[in-house]
Structure 1
Amino acid sequence: MALPTLISAAQLHEILEQNDLVILDSRFYLTDLQKGRQQYELGHIPGALFVDLHHQLAGDETEQTGRHPLPEPSELADTLMNLGIDSQTQVVVYDDMGGAMAARAWWMLVQQGIEVFVLDGGFPTWQRAGYAIEAGCNQATVAEQRLTISYPWLVSEDDVVANLETERFQLLDARAADRFQGENETMDPVAGHIPGAVNRPFMQNLNEHGLMKAPSLLLEEWTSLLQDIEKPIVYYCGSGVTACHNVLAMNYAGLEAKHVYVGSWSQWAKRILRKIDEANA
């Protein structure tokens, strides 16, 4: 069954007063963890609630995880309940980076059976359309139903390690080409990519206006990239965030995509360092 993917600013504007609608502002900046909430308080889509990618849509980073591991299912259940989200809620999530951050929330929620859409073009497109903006903070109405959370589309580090031998799936890296090639690495202590991976920078899913490319164009580009790959695809990036944008784009193009190695390169780099330490011990 096709997954819900995008909603336009005009479409969102039409349903803004809908009772079962929850709008999530997921603006996030890796180098400034407070900026997202600050930007939200300065101005957001009317009725929107802020969701913190670093603290609410991710668990605590450890020496064994990537930068943004998934939260415990019970923690996400509490978060969604406190945001007023249950199985009957329609959710729209947005950011200001062409969906690069919003796609993480989309991926986490859509696999719970929630109807969730990413605002195409995000907050900048809403602003350009001249629609109303409000400042301050909104308070959610707590949902009466607490969802049971699971992550059926999660791929673990152990799965990726095993795949080095079994070659059961194809890894696809969403990072910029230079980082994939081991150049200009500023986020992680080791540069490069997981052996056997291919590269599709998530920014290639967007046009010059920060909107998702047309489904027909995405289909052509993705089909060309994957024409010689017959195995299922597992998506990754630096920390399991922008990989979700490739999953979103694939579904928008009408292609099946679900599975993400959330630990991504930030976890794999830690693995490399552990192996070096073990070899030198």
Structure 2
Amino acid sequence: MFIDIDHFKLNEVIIIDARPRIFYTKSHIKDAVNIPISQIMDPLTGMPKPPEELSDVFTNAGIVENVPIVIYDDYPGVNAARLAWTLHYCGLKNVAIIRKFFRYISAHLPIENSNAPPQRGRVRCVQNPNVLADYDTVKNYKGLIVDLRSRREYIKGHIKGAVNIPWSDLINNEGFLNDYTWLPHDEEVIVYCGQGLYSAIGYVAYADLGIRVRLYAGGYQDWLKHEANQE
């Protein structure tokens, strides 16, 4: 799931800057394309955009199926994590995240501020149900559920049986942690947060361990809405 900067060559991968557009236009890794979170996620529900929209976004970004994809971000890494999950959701498997954040890798890789449009790629988003959890899945789930919100948010209310691992425990100022073997896990894990963004950090951490993991994209907001409708 994670990769170090000396383990790939820029001319052999599609490199994606997951930061907001304003930061990308100031400077980015040479030949990187920009896919901000606003293009792949519904800000109101936390759900991924429809498959046909995601296909267009990834095609316009120059992504070609079966070509390795390398993503980078800056602190706290949520954009890269959610983008990696979305690519998995669309059936693209050869995806890695640079472990260190942009502020550190920018000193070691060529940087530019050119914003030339990428060549058109070729992607058809085929939904992978094995990485997405919805309300019914979570409601009937008997395995480990991990709440990635802060301790304060967790104490105020959480899904019954969920354990709390704040997302901030999975990163540091430089990037994603080197070791996630301390994370509790079952054969499969469901992760969630308020609305499916910060829980993506948990998703990539578990994926890095080779654990089957699903992201509850609607998060606790979706859970509360469904629970209220059943009262």
**Which interval holds the TM-score relative to the shorter structure?**
0.7 to 0.9
Residue 48 of structure 1 deviates from its aligned partner by 1.1
CA distance in 1, matches of 2:187, 2:110: 46
Shift of 1:92: 1.1
| Cα 1:231–1:7 shift into 2, 3 Å | closer
Residues 1:146 and 2:123 aligned together:
yes
TM-score (norm 2): 0.88
Instruction: Summarize the alignment of residues 94-113 of structure 1 with structure 2, pairs less than 5 Å apart.
Output: 94-111=72-89, 112-113=91-92
Question: 2:221 — aligned with what?
Answer: 266
Helix, strand or coil at the partner of 1:178: helix
Q: How does 1:220-235 map to 2 (within 5 A)?
A: 221-222=182-183, 225-226=184-185, 232-235=188-191
**Contact kept in structure 2, 1:74 and 1:149, CA below 8 Å:** no
Deviations 1:229-269 (A, max 9, x none): x57321111221221211211232x3413211100022224
* Counterparts of 1:231 and 1:255, CA distance in 2: 10
Secondary structure, counterpart of 1:211 in structure 2: coil
Q: Counterpart in 2 of 1:188?
A: none
What pairs up with 1:84-123 in 2 under 5 angstroms? 84-111=62-89, 112-123=91-102
More strand by share: 2
8 Å Cα contact 2:34/2:61 also seen in 1: no
The runs of 5 or more residues in structure 2 that have no matched partner are none
Contact in 2 for aligned 1:154/1:259 (Cα 8 Å): yes
Unmatched tracts of structure 1, length 5 or more: 28-35, 183-191
Letter in 1 for 2:104: T
| Structure 2 letter corresponding to 1:113 | L
Residue matched to 1:59: 42
TM-score (norm: length of structure 1): 0.74
CA distance in 2, matches of 1:232, 1:88: 26
Of 207, 212, 223 in structure 1, the residue corresponding to residue 176 of structure 2 is 212
Structure 1 residue 107: Cα displacement? 1.4
Taking only the aligned residue pairs, the percentage that are identical comes to: 25
Residue 202 of structure 1 aligns with which residue?
167
- Specify the SS of the correspondent of 2:105: helix
- Whichever residue aligns with residue 159 of structure 2, its letter is I
1:175–1:60 CA distance, 2 compared to 1 (3 A): closer
* Structure 1 match to 2:22: 38
Deviation at 1:130, TM superposition (A): 4.2
Q: What is the number of residues matched between the two proteins?
A: 229
Shift of 1:8: 1.4
Structure 2 counterpart of 1:156, one-letter code: D
Contact 1:168–1:231 (CA under 8 A) maintained in structure 2: no
* Partner Cα separation in structure 2 for residue 114 and residue 86 of structure 1: 12
Kept in 2, the 8 Å contact 1:25–1:94? The answer is yes
Q: Distance in 1 between matches of 2:51 and 2:192?
A: 21
Deviations 1:101-152 (A, max 9, x none): 201111121341331111112211212x343321142311112x33242131
CA 1:266–1:137 in 2, change beyond 3 Å: closer, same or farther?
farther
Rounded to whole Å, the distance in 2 between the matches of 1:148 and 1:57 is 12
The aligned counterpart of 2:206 is: 250
Cα distance in 2 for partners of 1:108, 1:149 equals: 11
Distance (Å, rounded) in 2 between the aligned partners of 1:39 and 1:122? 13
Give the structure with higher Rg (CA): 1
Task: State which of 24, 31, 34 in structure 2 corresponds to 1:50.
Answer: 34
Contact persistence 1:168–1:232 (CA under 8 A)? no
Q: Work out the CA distance in 2 between the residues paired with 1:94 and 1:231.
A: 28
